[in-house]
Structures are given as structure tokens and as C-alpha cells.
Amino acid sequence: MGFMKISALLLTAALSLSTAASALTVSTARVVTLPGADTAYAAALPGGRWAVNADNGVLILDSNLKTQIGWYTLRGPVAGLSVSPDGTRLAAMTGERWTVWDVASGRELRSGEPAYDATLAFDPQGNLLMLDDGTLRSINLANGRATDLIGDGELYGAVVSPDGTRAVLSFEDRVELVDLDSGDVLAEANLAEEPGGLGAHFSPDGQAAAVRTGSEALILRAGQEPVDVKGGEDLDTTDDSLLFLNDRELLLVSYGEGQRIDAQTGQPRGEAFEVDSDGPVVSGPDGRLLALGSSVAFLNAAELDAPATGRVTLASSNALTGGFIGKSAYAGVNRFTNLSTLQDLNVGGTNRLYDFDLQSDMLWTLNGETVSTLRGGKLNRLTTLDSDAEYDLIQSTPDGTYAVVTGYYGLALLNGQTGKVLKKVTEEQLKVEDIHAALPTNDGKAILVIPHEGNVFRYDVATGKQTPAFKLPTDAEATALQLSRGGTLAVTYDDADYEARVALVKPGATTAFKTLAFDNRVRAVRFSPDGKLLAVLTSDPQNALQIFDTASGNRLIRTGTFNMGTSLLAWAPAGNQLMVGAGLLGKAGSVTVFDVKR
């Protein structure tokens, strides 16, 4: 799939303070769409088409997997998707909202807030079926009237057949295959464990269902005793698959490995084989198979171990990696794509990219145990660390000179100019249980450390001496650190009531001169290159991006309703632009670049 840019001319409304006291304004410069969506749900439509999710997007793909239409009005990853039996209606939901669209016109028919246990399906008449607090309910889409069908508050899960006539229902101690029209139980099985979820696929003749509960897999067949599926006890109810290839045979797929299963006995047929899919597999009414995950592609039911065909990587709704180098902006899903040229930057490999940090045109990457830097177009592989510390984080100083690589069991301080490892220290040497995060001081002479328990402390590289850096409130837990060029420390923590806070600490102090309070999770904190502004990215559904004056801690602006959550937040070196790794709600987009004017 090609890249899609959204015209900045459509996004020029400036966002500014209502008060004249601040000259700060923020406006959308551009939104760019990049490949890399995660697809976990799909349903077949008439004419060989498919309805799929792409992160928060809901798309209709033609028979060649080309996107025909897409909706981006749901915020957050799609958690369910269903098509009416006649193919005229499409429903999808996130944890916050469900929506039903008319497929032909694209018109929204109805939407609402889902229950904590919600699932989506349709009955033969096109009414929406939803699980709501343990009861399966029917919703008339014309008037919104809801009718209780089955469950009486006792259901743990419900999966309805594509034709809307039958359902697999899970309870605390059993699963049932039922006829929805009559309510008759056609088959049932007792469970050894409380279900951890529910996945089900129905046989072509409608007489059987392959069921997964997270701890058991079995076949329910009308009028017969249940049959256990060998090897299916560890199948995930969302990420793995157990589906009918025909009335006689099942396909089990887990972590890219496939196994044919006899639909009568539940026993394996033949040897296991590789399946060209890194996600679940779904089937259409004509036996077509679609592989999901980081891309979508067709599988050949007659040759299941053959390479997938027609593979398409769908547009992502967020970016995980990125930042600015000079005047160029880069972003992507585990890659650094130039947002103007759409060419990928060579950063020395991203196949095991655990973390990165980009400040003052200096890019640090941690790919596996290998630490690399990129500056001025020159790539340097500095060192390959040992695996004992389980390194997974890297943070650098505002000028990019020093970086600390952190793992649960140790940390390492590196100098990007000399390429040397200046210090390695273990959790035992620090006399802490685990290390949650660490950050070098601007001069590289000390390391600020968040231990598993206790206050943030300063570790002197030369002497090994530890002194308090920030004294947490009682029962608070620190999660992240940032330093400004001027030495102001920002400590992100959750207080005793699990409320998100960011403490601003002046150089040399151990208590905050200002504590910023947030109603939602703090995802990222970044000082501007000159240290005068602090950008905070949260999970707020309406104003996720907030900017503060560093010296006073006063909030200057808040804005941003994004498609997806992200932790990518980056300033341009000149401090005149700010990047958020998500598109704007309602439109396709992976990354948004804002102009910041003071």
C-alpha cells in the first residue's frame, strides 16, 4: 500500500491560549500516514471483499486487498468487528465506543458506549447483538431499543455465528452451543478452569463449533459429547486461531506454526508446519483464508505451508519511533522514515530495536544488546553489551553526548563522542532490588536512578556515592525521568491514589518546586531544546498534548485528540516544531507535526 499524506491546508486551525499573557501558539503543520498497522480482526463481505481493522481504523478491502473506504472515528485499538449476515452493515468497537455503519454509503447508523465485557455480532435481521454485563442483548438500529436475549447476567463471553443463528456462550464453569432463535442448548461442556476469554469458529454446516477459553480447546457438536483438541490448551483466544477448513478438518495456528486437526476426534493430522502469518488467521464462507497481524495476506487452504500471497501492509494510526534530525522529520513503526522523501534512514538495524533516544541531532539506538549512534550522517556501532542486565532502555543528555542504557539488573554509561563505556554497574552494586529507569546528568559525572522501591537517587560515577535526587511522596512510585538543558529535573510518578504526576525539581534540590497533576496516564515528557518549555503527552481523550513553562510550571496550552495512544514525543532542534506519534482522530494518519510559535 502506498503512503498517504493529509493536506496541511485542511489542518491549519491554530490552537492558542485564550489569555493574552502567553505568546505561545500551536498549529498543525502536517499529518503523514505510514505503513505498519496491526490487524487483529477481519470479517468476509460479499464479492470477495473483507472488513478489517488497522489499529483504530476500520477498512473495507476489495478482493485484491486494496482499501476502498476507511473510518477513523473510533479512538484506540479496535477490540471487536462484525458484519451482518447480508453484508450491508459493519460494526466495530474499542474499549470506549461502538459504531455501526452502512457498508454501501459509509453512513454511521448508530453508536454508543460498550460494556466492560462487550462483544459484537448481528442477528439474521441485521439487529446488533452485544454482550452487556453478562447478558446477550439485541439492539434495534432503527430506534435504539435493546432487548435481553440470553444470559441473565451470568455470561462470561459470547461468540455468534456469521449467519446470526447460533452462538457459543461461556459461563463460569461451562461452555454451550445454543440456537439463538429457540434458546435450545445443542451441546455443552464443563470447564476445568474459569474461562480467561472466549474464541469460537463455526463449521460450514453450522452443526459444530471449535472453542477456545484460554486454558482449554474443544469441539462442540450438536447432539454429541464434547471433544478435546489436543495441543489447544494454551491457545490465546485473540492472537491464535482454531478454525474449520471444512466439516472434517480444523486448522490450529499459534505463533506462526500450523497443525491440521481431525474435526471428529480432536487429534492432530500429520506433522506441524510453518504458516506465513504473524497473527491470527480468519476464513470466509467460501473457504478463503486471510492472515492477519503486521500485514494482511491470503493463505492457500490447499497448501497451508506455502508463502502467503497478495500481502499488504496497512496504514498505521501511530508511530513508535521518530524525531527530528536537522530540519528533517523522521518517524515510523520500528523504523525512521523521512516524512518528506519517505526514504528510510539507516540506523544500524531495527530487527530487535528495544529503545532509542534522539536529542540535538544525535540518535542513540539499542538494538538487542548493540548500542549505536548516528550523527551528521555517520553511523557508529559503539559496543555490544552483555545480556545479563537485560538492557531495554536508553536515555541521553540534552546535547546527546552521554547516554545510559538500563536493564532490570544493571546499567551502563556511554560517551557518544569517544564511543567508550564509561561505567557499568549492577543492581547488587547499587544495593537495589531492580532498576526501573536511569538518566545521565548533563555533565556525565553522575547517573540518576529510579529503583524498584524508594526515592530517586544520584549515583556518582567516580566515587560510587549515592545521594537523594528526589524524595517521593509517601507510597508514590516513580516511572520516568527527564532533564532540561538547564538542569531542571522532571520526575514522572504515580501517587498513593495512582494519580499521574510530574514533579519539577530545580538543580541541587530534592523536592519539587512545582508538581503537575494529570487526570490520565502520562505517556511521555520532553523539554524543549532550550529547556524553557516542557511538553507532556498523556492518555487524555481530548487534550493529550500539554505544554508548560519550565521556570514557573504554568500550563501554557493543551490540545490534541489523537487516533491512538503513543509515547513518541519529540522537539525539533530549533524548538519550533513538536512531533506526536499519532494521527488526529477522524482521519488517517500515523504522525502529527505541530508548529510551535512563541
pLDDT, tens digit, 9 for 90 and up, residues 433-481? 999 999 999 999 999 999 999 999 999 999 999 999 999 999 999 999 9
Q: What pairing do the DSSP bridges indicate for beta strands 80-83 and 67-71? A: unpaired
Distance from C-alpha of 80 to C-alpha of 158, rounded to nearest angstrom: 12
Which amino acid does the sequence have at 500? A
Q: Is 192 exposed, middle or buried (0-12, 13-18, 19+ CB in 10 A)?
A: exposed
| Coil, strand or helix at 12 | coil
> What is the pLDDT at residue 22?
56
> What is the pLDDT at residue 269?
97
Distance from C-alpha of 490 to C-alpha of 31, rounded to nearest angstrom: 29
CATH number at residue 258: 2.130.10.10
Q: In this structure, are residues 366 and 394 in contact, taking their beta carbons and an 8 Å threshold?
A: yes
Cell of 225: 459429547
Cell of 71: 473510518
Q: In this structure, are residues 344 and 383 in contact, taking their beta carbons and an 8 Å threshold?
A: no
Residue 184's nearest CA partner among 200, 209, 167, 161 is 167
Work out the pLDDT band at 3, boundaries 50, 70, 90.
very low
Residue appearing with cell numbers 448481528: 122
Residue appearing with cell numbers 480467561: 196
Mark whether 469 and 420 lie in a shared domain.
yes
Cell of 521: 496516564
Q: Buried b vs exposed e over 535-571: b needs ≥16 C-beta within 10 Å?
A: bbbbbbeeebbbbbebbebeebbbbbebbbbbebbbb
Q: Give the chain's domain count.
A: 3
Residue 2 has pLDDT above 70, yes or no: no
Distance from C-alpha of 236 to C-alpha of 455, rounded to nearest angstrom: 39
Radius of gyration of the chain measured on its C-alpha atoms: 26
Query: Measuring CA to CA, how many Å separate 78 from each of 89, 243, 301?
Result: 17, 22, 27
Mark whether 116 and 223 lie in a shared domain.
yes
* DSSP annotation string for 355-412: EEEEETTEEEEEETTEEEEEETTEEEEEEE--STT-EEEEEE-TTSSEEEEEETTEEE
Per residue in 367-419, pLDDT tens? 999 999 999 999 999 999 999 999 999 999 999 999 999 999 999 999 999 99
Cell of 201: 469458529
Distance from C-alpha of 175 to C-alpha of 133, rounded to nearest angstrom: 17
Q: Output the furthest CA–CA distance in the chain (Å, rounded).
A: 78
Mark whether 548 and 511 lie in a shared domain.
no
Determine how many CB atoms are found less than 10 A away from the CB of residue 349: 14
Residue 10 has pLDDT above 70, yes or no: no
Cell of 558: 493543551
Residue 220 has pLDDT above 50, yes or no: yes
HEC string for 506-547: CCCCCCCCEEEEECCCEEEEEECCCCCEEEEEECCCCCCEEE
Instruction: Say if 113 falls within a structural domain.
Output: yes
> Taking CA 73 as the corner, what is the angle to CA 121 and CA 107, rounded to the nearest 5 degrees?
70
Mark whether 264 and 141 lie in a shared domain.
yes
Residue 15 has pLDDT above 50, yes or no: no
Q: What is the mean pLDDT of residues 148-162?
A: 97
Distance from C-alpha of 298 to C-alpha of 310, rounded to nearest angstrom: 6
- Range of 510's domain? 352-517
> What is the pLDDT at residue 50?
98
Instruction: Say if 7 falls within a structural domain.
Output: no
| Coil, strand or helix at 341 | coil
Instruction: Say if 1 falls within a structural domain.
Output: no
Q: In this structure, are residues 95 and 83 in contact, taking their beta carbons and an 8 Å threshold?
A: no
> What is the pLDDT at residue 113?
97
Helix/strand/coil percentages in the chain, nearest 5: 0, 50, 50
Residue appearing with cell numbers 464462507: 285
> What is the pLDDT at residue 301?
95
| Coil, strand or helix at 97 | coil
Work out the pLDDT band at 130, boundaries 50, 70, 90.
very high
Instruction: Say if 153 falls within a structural domain.
Output: yes
Cell of 437: 529507569
Residue 564 has pLDDT above 60, yes or no: yes
Sign of CA dihedral 552, 554, 560, 563: positive
Q: What is the dihedral of CA 41, 44, 50, 54, to 10 degrees?
A: -10
Mark whether 489 and 409 lie in a shared domain.
yes
**Domain limit, last residue, from 517, 549, 569:** 517
Percent of the chain with pLDDT over 70: 96
Residue 19 has pLDDT above 50, yes or no: no
**Domain limit, last residue, from 314, 332, 366:** 314
Per residue in 472-509, pLDDT tens? 999 999 999 999 999 999 999 999 999 999 999 999 99
Mark whether 321 and 364 lie in a shared domain.
no
Cell of 239: 492472537
Q: What is the dihedral of CA 569, 573, 577, 581, to 10 degrees?
A: -20
Length of the chain: 598
Instruction: Say if 70 falls within a structural domain.
Output: yes
Query: Measuring CA to CA, how many Å separate 332 from each of 274, 313, 539, 582?
Result: 28, 13, 20, 10
Mark whether 471 and 363 lie in a shared domain.
yes
Mark whether 116 and 177 lie in a shared domain.
yes
Residue 245's nearest CA partner among 225, 229, 259 is 259
Instruction: Say if 146 falls within a structural domain.
Output: yes
This prediction has a pTM of: 0.91
Strands of 57-61's sheet, edge to edge?
A: 42-44, 50-54, 57-61, 67-71
Mark whether 356 and 481 lie in a shared domain.
yes
Instruction: Say if 8 falls within a structural domain.
Output: no
Per residue in 243-273, pLDDT tens? 999 999 999 999 999 999 999 999 999 999 9
Distance from C-alpha of 557 to C-alpha of 22, rounded to nearest angstrom: 9
Percent of the chain with pLDDT over 90: 94
DSSP 313: P
Residue appearing with cell numbers 536512578: 449
Higher pLDDT, residue 375 or 21:
375
> What is the pLDDT at residue 349?
84
Mark whether 86 and 229 lie in a shared domain.
yes
Q: Tell me what the pLDDT averaged over the chain comes to.
A: 94
Residue appearing with cell numbers 543528555: 397
Mark whether 237 and 308 lie in a shared domain.
yes
Phi and psi based region of residue 539 (left: phi greater than 0; alpha: psi -120 to 50; beta: remaining)? alpha
**Domain limit, last residue, from 496, 517, 538:** 517
Residue appearing with cell numbers 435450545: 184
Mark whether 583 and 470 lie in a shared domain.
no
> What is the pLDDT at residue 287?
86
Instruction: Say if 22 falls within a structural domain.
Output: yes
